[in-house]
Structure 1
Amino acid sequence: MKKTILLLLVLCFSVNASFSQNNKVEIDKKVSELLAKMTLEEKVGQMTQMTVTNFEAKGQPGVFDMVKLKEAIQNYHIGSMLNVPNPGAPTIQRWKEVITTINNEANKTRLKIPVLYGIDAIHGSSYTAGATLFPQQIGIAATFNTEIAKRGSEISAYETRASSIPWVFSPDLDLPRNPSWSRMWESFGEDAYLSSQMGAAMVAGFEGNDVGSKYHVASCMKHFIGYGSTTTGKDRTPSIIPERVLRQFDLTIYQAAIKAGSKSIMISSGEINGTPVHASKHLVTDILKNELGFQGVVVTDWKDIIYLYTRHKVAENNRDAVRISVMAGIDMSMVPEDYTFYTDLLDLVNKGEVPMSRIDDAVARILRMKYEVNLFQNNIADLKDYPKFGSQEFIDVAYNAAAESITLLKNTAAVLPLNKSEKILVTGPTANSMKYLNGGWSYNWQGENSDKYAADKSTVLEALENKIGKQNVLYTAGADLEKENEDEIQKAVALAKDASKIILCLGEKNYTETPGDISNLYLSKSQINLALALSKLNKPIILVLNEGRPRIISDFEDKMNAVVQCYLPGNEGARALADILYGDVNPSGRIPYNYPRYTNSLEKYNRKYTESLGDEEQNNDAQYQKSYSPQYEFGTGLSYTTFEYSNLAIDKSEINHTDAITVTVDVKNTGKRAGKEAVLLYLSDKVASITPEVKALKRFEKINLEPNQTKTVTFTLNQKDLQFVGEDLKWVAENGTFNIQIGTQNKNFVLK
């Protein structure tokens, strides 16, 4: 029977592989035939992407000016549009009208090439009213569960296609090295392996086995490369990153997503070592296209070719910027508000400064993606095909994602879970708004309209009131996110006297990109003052954080009895939080970054040994301070039960340079509650010619255990896991001793 099943699986795989190859051959043939029919003007138009709001009638938000639309599509032949028509967050019915209007205009052109529409579906189909919104990516990372990442993006794809849109600008594969960066929450945190696994899972969910189906979309990896590593921590500012480091960490994340089949990639708005990525032929063509073999579409971010001369100053004018970027390997320009890219590129080709071969390569990639997403046949959604849009089934998935992401960081004397009969005070500036649960890219760019579009969802306050009844919940804002108000603090202090425990909700405003830049990583003074005032009452305080990055809390953390990190958990986050606070859900999230204690102590968990000099035993006299002391280390996450690790074993104590190694460990739930545990395997190279990391995450698996249940978890490490990038920019594994750490268990093996 087993042989029969295996044979069937092999046959199914062979049939699917054959179908995929045949489909590729057929698409390539169609692309070649269509490309041969196109004029230069039509080709350059395909490389041009513009914002949909460009074509709205003056004084009539959301209404197309058909003269402008006709000019764009018929005169300039633009091949792509993006963004949201005013006033924002259309329904699926409205999206159908918008895309139909664009499609009808494209059908009047000579070759009837459809317009490719792209959208920022960052944590769900977040620009469509009524769609299911998930935790932001940093929360998805905290689940340490790739199935959650995949299922969430499957639902996002379904609901985006229901909006008649076939292309999403997601996932974000940036590797942030500075926690103050305003887009940290759009990433999967500070670890490259975790990011690569989550990113690949999201690509698989978005694109499925057939990206051209009516339930899947083309993904767009972003932002290639080094964008999250600015030296200042502020958006779109320069990075200094050696290529060896880029290859060992950042590039591996994109490699995994490319292997998963992602159809497009967006280029970083930043510059590395003085070269804007949009101007780097080395990064875009030599490495991305040639070395990694990426066959998809390379698109810019907003205005980034224009910025080559207005900001970066590496081009004399827009024409020069267009030449530099297209020759670097850019296929599509998110212009997005004028026709300068089109007119300048046309002139460059006509004068021989950009060869037709470069244009044909770019346009072939764009046309191929249009065929792959079935745009020529399946452009407009039949809404009857999407009965699950915004359904309870999808909402339950988003709730579960939030429940597995929320991370219990501290729980002194088991103050949590709470007793439902106790009266509580809910206070803090993030307690009663959906904006602080969703963050940016929610219904619009900065996410300020979440209270309007998610009015039927629960804020933290509302979720707690629904949980234990309004009669048991006292509330006052207590503080503003920014402005200090002593009267508000005193209101909170007065109300707290009638409560058994305090739920203190602190965090950040909604933001993304440059509007989210900060100069101080500490929480705002108004919030710190509220926390300190309440701590003087000697009542248990549960600190609930809603934040996109780790804002420093060391001024008062020691006075908090429990700390719960919610990140940006989405529309179902407050319900999940309430269930965790009262023990109906056992928390299982783990923090995907080091939470710093001080602003000048921002080491990552996989730091180098020299970043911990003050920790050495011989240096513990008074003149030395402990140099590595995060508030919470990467991977921290508590539960209401306890887990015990034992019997760590490896199948070989010595291996050669072709061997894999199998690792097993027993995990037992030693408590009285069922619980989920993320089992993390770290590897340490004890000695290497490039200074090794203290430890590096190499594998993880989320398991569920009943009380007293034991499971054996098995991992396999391969040669790539033992390698690092040397000075010659090549991957190498060097002979010597390696250490495996899982929980409290350690085991050494030797590579010979």
Structure 2
Amino acid sequence: MNLKKIAIIGLLALSSQATFAQKKKSTSVKPPLTAAQIETKVEDLLKQMTLEEKVGQMAQITLDVIGKGDNRFASFEPFALDDKMTDALVHYKIGSVLNTANNRARTPQVWNDIVSKIQDVAMKNRLKIPVLYGVDAIHGTTYTVGATMFPQQIAQAASRNRELVRKGAEITAYETRASSIPWTFSPVLDLGADPRFPRQWEGFGEDPYIGSEMGVQMVKGYEGQDNTVGDYDKVASCMKHFLGYGAPTSGKDRTPAFIPDDVLREYHLPAFKAAIEAGSHSIMINSGIINNIPVHSNYNLLTKLLKEELGFKGLVVTDWGDIENLHRRDHIAKDDKEAIMLAINAGIDMSMIPYQYETFCNGLVELVKEGKVKQERIDDAVRRILKVKYALNLFDKPVTDSKDYPKFGSKEFEAASYQMASEAITLLKNDGNVLPLSKQAKVLVTGPNANSMRTLNGGWTYSWQGEKVEEFASKYNTILEAVQTKVGAANVNYVPGVSYKMDGKYYEEAADKMDEAAEAAKNADVVILCLGENSYTEKPGDLQDLNISDLQIELAKKVAAAGKPVILVLNEGRPRLISRFEPLMKAVVQTYLPGNFGGDALASILFGDINPSGKLPYTYPRYANATIPYFHKLSEEQTKAEGVYNYEADFNPQYQFGFGLSYTTFNYANLKLNKTAITNSDELQVSIDVTNTGSREGKEVVQLFTSDLFASTTPDVKRLRRFEKLSLKPGETKTITFTLTVKDLAFVNHEGVWTTEDGDFDLMIGDQKVKFNVINGNKL
């Protein structure tokens, strides 16, 4: 029996009784500064700074640049800092460092040593301004060995559990600070409405409201309720990628998008607006091109919209090498110097260079002296950077000590990851109630994702593409090992069928005893077929075909031919098409990218110890040419529209947005409104009774949708306006109440203005529907 160092019973006990709360001991010499104190100190410091010192603060380099090695792009191992650090941090006054070296994780102790030495050198400058260190800690502290890895954001959205999302961010902040790193490039707030996009899994899915709600929880988890990022267990968050990054026309990373202004504002902007209002300290910019203008050079988006209209006072940082890209990729600047001018004048405050810092620093100094970049723009940028550094208390305590973080990698933190995975995993099909399975069943486990920690975690896990996961996550359970632990190794047969052939960062698939797997299925009571994707992110994840691979389809058909019930377990970052074989599956379970405890959580669900409660955060398409989101227009559903051309409905997804089954059943009744007509000054109180009509306790996500029946701009078929997750015992009824205002029903008109109009709306919860009316609607 494979216990693999993980005691799930212990995890369950911890998740039910442990809390993240602990007595905070102050590890700072002085308490964090107030906003007024920060303003005063920043202005005093600005007056003392030379132009070169200011420009240095606006530059960010990657760690390899200052590591011992043959060049700037890689370092020797074991990693050690090089004397060239003096050139970068003292001569050029570089103000920020990011990333890890050689694309691999380090222990908290090694991180403490690295950051301490960097800060020591930075303090040799006459003004003793500390370095701001940042890292992509997007589902846990990515580059720290032993850190708690949570499900990726797409799975967190599926949980619909705000409290768990916040707790995960709190733990990540704690463990990131334990690594002496005070800044995380997270949360990802890109609208994930295109399943082709290779970074869909990094965000919260296709719905603007869910993105807004979960984004706020993540910001507050990282920064604290009052954004006290100077606390020893908090970090500065960084919203990304502003704006419209997840909607390229081709579906491929960093390729052009064409997004009308009303679409940009109504669907892509809300999550960023909510996170800005929640106090997020920084924001990263979209690497792509919108309407033929690279976003890094778009003054209207970066200054007029972000800084002026939305009132964002924080730090605006580029993505990797994106100022250079204005010249080298996008060809809107004749050289690097002109690219620098365009980006800084557009509103960029800090350049993630990441290698050739001399070009940026020398070029920007020259531009100011030539009058092509105003001194006021430089001062504004540096003011924003220094405010973050002061807020983080870096001037007083630039380095933390891992010994002050006893809960790092603790069982309590692991329990939170396990609970998140348990509530995220989504049951999509369960014909004949084949699930949950008997623990006495003879099980065949097969598929390329069956025995892989890499696929459970996805990218940004111990390394950029996740290719080093197996090196650092061997103590956790794969799906296979979790099933063996749950029911005993003697009851489990494993034949890969298809395997991922590793080739550095990338992979290919190969048949691996496929016929043997088909034969083994005949001798099993049930087959657990684990399909999906290997880890990826960014350009390496670009797709030519949304269908799941031909080899995986072949394996599915062959094991199904044995006539035994097949449980399809999907482990993927985006919904790969399964329509060619889905009818052959008795059950379908979506795990997304559930993290280090995803295998354990899945096994608990498959064998009935946990009742699944996840809901899809996106529309799961059935066909490659039908990838529209749930908030589409009525013309996508021709059978519902009147007219000459009454074709069959085109909107026919495999599974609807918000769908997810349970091992119990729920009944909705008594949908009531406090009034049938509302004005701008009214609140609409909505109540509904939800009853667990099954035989076991379960969690249900109550989802409130509205439909604007007629509007001057073609309305969406429906929009999610509220959701709440509740737990119900068998036979128990709870009444859920929501509050809506006219503002919640608004849309962006062709003038780019949020507006409401008089007219009828449908309101839907579960299978219940009621109509209400808006009167005296107007621009908001």
Counterparts of 2:588 and 2:645 in 1: how far apart (Å)? 30
**What CA distance in whole angstroms lies between the structure 1 residues aligned with 2:440 and 2:737?**
43
Structure 1 residue 497, shift from structure 2 partner: 1.6
Q: How far does residue 480 in structure 1 lie from its aligned partner after superposition? A: 2.8
Residues 30-45 of structure 1: matches in 2 within 5 Å?
30-45=41-56
Specify the alignment match of 2:20 in structure 1.
Answer: none
> In structure 1, which of residues 90, 107, 116 is the aligned counterpart of residue 106 of structure 2?
90
> Partner letter of residue 437 of structure 1?
L
Is residue 138 of structure 1 aligned with residue 154 of structure 2?
yes
Which runs of 5 or more structure 2 residues have no equivalent in the other structure?
Answer: 1-30, 71-75, 501-506, 776-780
1:419 corresponding residue in structure 2? 438
Q: How far apart in 2 are the matches of 1:259 and 1:21?
A: 21
Q: 1:544 is matched with which residue?
A: 569
The aligned residue for residue 9 of structure 1 is: none
Q: Superposed, which structure 2 residues align to 1:473-552 within 5 Å?
A: 473-481=492-500, 488-552=513-577
Structure 1 residues 345 and 645, CA gap change in structure 2 (3 angstroms): same
- Confirm or deny: 8 A CA contact 2:742 2:774 kept in the other structure: no
1:326 aligns with 2:344: yes
Provide the rounded CA distance (Å) in 1 between the counterparts of 2:145 and 2:511. 38
Structure 2 CA distance for aligned equivalents of residues 666 and 489 of structure 1: 50
User: How many angstroms apart in 2 are the aligned matches of 1:594 and 1:133?
Assistant: 26
Which deviates the most, 681-690 or 84-93? 84-93
Shift of 1:181: 0.4
Tell me how many residue pairs correspond in the alignment.
Answer: 731
Taking a change above 3 Å as real, the CA distance of residues 745 and 64 of structure 1, as seen in their structure-2 partners, is same
What is the Cα deviation at residue 85 of structure 1?
A: 2.4
Question: Aligned to 1:32, what secondary structure does the other structure show?
Answer: helix
Render the CA deviation track for 1:655-685: whole Å, top value 9, x for unaligned: 1221111100000000010000010000111
CA deviation vs aligned residue, 1:432-461 (integer Å, no higher than 9, x gap): 010000000000100011111011000000
**Structure 1 residue 620: deviation in Å?**
9.7
Per the TM alignment, residue 270 of structure 1 is displaced from its structure 2 partner at its CA by: 0.4
CA contact (8 A) 2:248 2:254 kept: yes
What is the rounded CA distance, in whole Å, between the counterparts of 1:747 and 1:100 in structure 2?
Answer: 61
> Partners in 1 of 2:191 and 2:510 — Cα distance?
37
Question: Is 2:657 aligned against 1:634?
Answer: yes
More moved, 57-66 vs 338-347 = 57-66
CA distance in structure 2 between the aligned counterparts of 1:207 and 1:95, rounded to whole angstroms = 21
| Contact 1:615–1:625 (CA under 8 A) maintained in structure 2 | no
Correspondence for 1:335 among 353, 377, 387: 353
> 2:138 is matched with which residue: 103, 117, 122?
122
Residue 620 (structure 2) aligns with:
595
Q: Name the counterpart of 1:302.
A: 320
Letter in 2 for 1:331: D
Question: What displacement does 1:88 show?
Answer: 1.8
The alpha-carbon distance between structure 1 residues 417 and 113, as it changes in their structure 2 partners (threshold 3 A), is same
Counterpart of 1:397 in structure 2 is 416
Q: Post-superposition shift, 1:94?
A: 0.4
Residue 607 (structure 1) aligned with residue 632 (structure 2): yes
Aligned partner (choices 431, 455, 466) of residue 485 of structure 2: 466
Residues 91 and 128 of structure 1 are in contact (CA less than 8 Å); yes or no, is this contact kept in structure 2? yes
Determine the C-alpha separation between the residues in 1 that align with 2:125 and 2:397: 18
Query: For 1:551-577, what per-residue CA distance to the aligned partner results, in whole angstroms no more than 9, with x for missing partners?
Result: 000000011000000000000100000
Letter in 1 for 2:668: Y
CA distance in 1, matches of 2:628, 2:298: 29
- Given candidates 30, 48, 60, the residue that maps to 1:49 is 60
Deviations 1:36-65 (A, max 9, x none): 100000000000000011111125235445
Of the three residues 735, 739, 742, the one matched with 1:716 is 739
Give yes or no for contact 2:567–2:586 (8 Å, CA) kept in 1: yes
2-structure distance, mates of 1:87, 1:725: 43
Structure-2 change in CA distance of 1:619 and 1:536 (3 Å): farther
> Do the aligned partners of 2:426 and 2:589 also contact (CA within 8 Å) in 1?
yes
| RMSD between superposed Cα atoms in Å | 1.5
Deviation at 1:487?
A: 6.3
1:191 corresponds to? 207
Deviations 1:142-195 (A, max 9, x none): 011111111100000000000000000000000123211000000100000010
Distance (whole Å) between structure 1 residues aligned to residue 618 and residue 43 of structure 2: 47
2:328 counterpart letter in structure 1: T
Question: What letter is aligned with 1:296?
Answer: G
User: Which of 183, 187, 195 is 1:179 aligned to?
Assistant: 195
Find out whether 1:451 has 2:474 as its counterpart.
Answer: no
Q: 1:99-140: per-residue Cα shift (whole Å, max 9, x none)?
A: 001011011110110000000001011210000000000000
8 Å CA contact 1:298, 1:329 repeated in 2: yes
Tell me whether 1:698 sits opposite 2:688 in the alignment. Answer: no
* Correspondence for 1:159: 175
- 1:66 is paired with a residue whose SS is coil
Q: What's the counterpart of residue 302 of structure 2?
A: 284
Structure 1 segments of 4 or more deviating over 6 A? 617-621
Checking the alignment, whether the CA contact within 8 Å between 1:438 and 1:571 is kept in structure 2 is yes
Decide whether aligned partners of structure 1 residues 391 and 457 sit closer, same or farther in structure 2, where only a CA change above 3 A counts: same
Q: Shift of the alpha carbon at 1:611?
A: 1.3
Could you tell me how far apart the structure 1 residues matched to 2:292 and 2:49 are? 38
Question: 1: CA distance between counterparts of 2:348 and 2:744?
Answer: 32
1:615–1:627 contact (8 Å) kept in structure 2: no
Inter-partner Cα distance in structure 1 for 2:297 and 2:638: 40
Give the structure 1 partner of residue 456 of structure 2.
437
Deviations for 1:612-666, whole angstroms, at most 9, x for unmatched residues?
1145588898xx3331100000000000000000000010111122111110000
Q: Secondary structure at the match of 1:61?
A: coil
Aligned AA for 2:576? R
One-letter identity of the residue aligned with 1:312: D
Per the alignment, residue 353 of structure 1 pairs with: 372
Letter in 2 for 1:57: K
Q: What CA distance in whole angstroms lies between the structure 2 residues aligned with 1:197 and 1:416?
A: 32
Normalised TM-score (structure 1)? 0.96
Residue-by-residue CA offset, 1:465-516 (whole Å, 9 max, x unaligned): 0011110000011013586756621010111121100000000011000000
Match of 1:707 among 706, 710, 730: 730
